[in-house]
Structure 1
Amino acid sequence: MPSNLVDITSADHFKQVLSEDLNRVSVLNFWASWAKPCEKMNEAVKEMSSQYQEVLFLMIEADVQDEIAESFDIEEVPSFLILRGHTLLARHAGSNAQLLITLLNQHTNKAQPVQPLSATSQAPAAPSNNTAAAATTAPANETQEQLEERCQQLMNKHKVVLFMKGNPSAPKCGFSRQTVGLLREKGIEFAWFDILSDQGVRETLKKLNDWPTFPQIILNGELIGGLDIFRESLENGEFDEMYAAAGEETEPST
């Protein structure tokens, strides 16, 4: 592995490596093993590391190094941040390797564009995800009161509602993916909402439920919690008891 290509193993390791040279340009590659576009982009980054030897490339597995991912508000993978020291220069989410090269050229001393990467490293753009569980278009001139009412309606749309990043077929974070897996493993029917599609809903739910992160699992209009609490409640049987006590669902699953 090239010396300028580093696998980050912890938050302390990340801080140490990043602080060694505050004048150096760094590329933070946030990836996940479950996201197929990351496979080709990881290969592309390895190829870039040999072409940009003056640049430090940090490989950060978002699900494992969740503290780092949260600190940079990483919402999907692959995602790339270009830094000089601790200063953010550019941000790119997606699997367009040539765009990443263009951004690198803008922030390094490359006089000419780097040669195109091999065809095998050109990953197609990730498909866009549109929620089918509920309308995501906010009414015109929506007031805060109307937004809160809309959020309450979404939480009561189904017996179980999952507010997640992405959709069940293409989650955009590992926590959402794991939550969908647990729900499906238990055979629980649920409606879902992509909080990345509506910033108003995303921020309002944090306040309404007093819960700052996603996914959020809702049962009969009430917050159960995030992934860890949901998993624990499944393991100790509490969720099954609450689910049974909640009665029959009133709306069909979407």
Structure 2
Amino acid sequence: MASSNYHDVSSVEQFKSLMEADLERTALLSFWASFAEPCKQMNEVVKELSKKYESILVLSIEAENLEDIAESFEVEAVPSFVLLRGHTLLKRVTGADANNLKAAVEQYARTTPQALSKTDQAPAVPPTEAGGAAAVPATEEKKMETEEELNARMRTLMNQSKVVVFMKGVPDAPRCGFSRQTVGILREQEVEFTSFDILTDEAVRQGMKKLNDWPTFPQIIVNGELFGGLDILKESIETGEFEGVKADL
């Protein structure tokens, strides 16, 4: 049995409520997925840590079911762990590295907010969203796309075939469970599609969120327009709507 400071997060609302309840407390976010075998072992490690360090808040988050939370912390693989205090990112640990995770939790569970040095602290948001990109000397600065140029390029990518999947990784080597599931379902449905790896182009990655008013990936594009993400795809298949979509391809 997990300790009282351990919570299985089931909704975005629950996550926000737990995080906002005590912003001075160290929190360990544990992102996992049922498809990833290493997560089973690490989930047990996380539960043991919650018992040993009752002062920390431990939130277990199934990344595939709570995609918005996973996206907001730029989780691209599981298992993945994020240590926070309030809105401050303390440490990231990626992969089934139990010793590294234990060392990180021990370090920050025993550190008071006042003891954190400036070098320990970083905004708990992706650098691209925090405006934290490293400065580039003027002589090395690359020509920046205008918003119009970027939108035009994204529109071209969206129209490269009748169905385009903007995903993490490539169809034969997805970099997240959401992308893996999407590819698998489209192949099961015998839908021909092309793809674009958003991890190779940060401008497209951020621009697609704005262009389509859709904050997460994968994004499925049908005939040049946003169809939706994994949840929409699953729902449309369950209702039979997707058969009509395939008929128009």
**Structure 2 length normalisation: TM-score?**
0.69
Could you tell me how far apart the structure 1 residues matched to 2:68 and 2:204 are? Answer: 24
Pair 1:222-2:225 in alignment: yes
Instruction: Select 1:143's aligned residue among 138, 142, 145.
Output: 145
Equivalent in the alignment of 2:126? none
> In structure 2, what is the equivalent of residue 94 of structure 1?
95
- Give the structure 1 partner of residue 202 of structure 2: 199
- Over 3 Å counting, the alpha-carbon distance change for 1:43 and 1:171 in structure 2 is farther
Distance 1:155 1:20 in 2: 42
Letter in 2 for 1:141: K
Alignment partner, residue 186 of structure 1: 189
Q: Which moved more, 1:66-75 or 1:212-221?
A: 66-75
**1:42 lines up with 2:32 in the alignment:** no
- Aligned CA distance change for structure 1 residues 99 and 239 (closer, same or farther; 3 Å): same
Kept after mapping to 1: 8 A contact 2:167/2:196: yes
Aligned match of 1:176 = 179
Check conservation: 2:2, 2:48, Cα contact below 8 A: no
Report what 2:78 is aligned to: 77
Deviation, structure 1 residue 34:
1.2
Q: Tell me the secondary structure at the aligned position of residue 232 of structure 2.
A: helix
After superposition, where does 1:14-33 map in structure 2 within 5 Å?
A: 14-15=15-16, 17-18=18-19, 21-33=22-34
Give yes or no for contact 1:18–1:86 (8 Å, CA) kept in 2. Answer: no
Letter in 1 for 2:199: L
Aligned to 1:56: 57
Shift of 1:21: 4.8
Query: Which deviates more, 6-15 or 187-196?
Result: 6-15
Letter in 2 for 1:103: A
Structure 1 spans left out of the alignment, 5+ residues: 111-139, 247-254
Distance (whole Å) between structure 1 residues aligned to residue 33 and residue 227 of structure 2 = 26
- The letter for the 1-side match of 2:110 is N
**Superposed CA offset, 1:211-235 (max 9, x none):** 3322211223332222333334444
SS for the counterpart of 1:82 is strand
> Is the 1:162–1:190 Cα contact (8 Å) retained in structure 2?
yes
**Secondary structure of the corresponding residue to residue 95 of structure 1:** coil
Task: Note if contact 2:31-2:81 (Cα within 8 Å) is conserved in structure 1.
Answer: yes
Q: How far has the Cα of 1:27 moved from its partner? A: 0.9
Q: Distance in 1 between matches of 2:55 and 2:81?
A: 17
Give the secondary-structure state (helix, strand or coil) at the position aligned to 2:90.
strand
Q: Are residues 152 and 19 of structure 1, via their aligned partners in 2, closer, same or farther at CA, if it must alter by over 3 Å?
A: closer
**Partner of residue 156 from structure 2, selected from 124, 145, 153:** 153
Match of 1:167 among 159, 165, 170: 170
Q: Cα offset for 1:242?
A: 4.2
Give ranges in structure 2 of 5+ residues lacking alignment.
Answer: 112-141
Letter in 2 for 1:7: D
Is the partner of 1:163 in helix, strand or coil?
strand
Aligned residue identity for 1:167: V
After superposition, the C-alpha distances for 1:146-194 in whole angstroms (9 at most, x for unaligned) are 4334323322333321112333345444433332232021111222222
Q: Which residue of 2 aligns with 1:231?
A: 234
Partner of 1:132: none
Equivalence for 1:136: none
Q: Distance in 2 between matches of 1:19 and 1:229?
A: 30
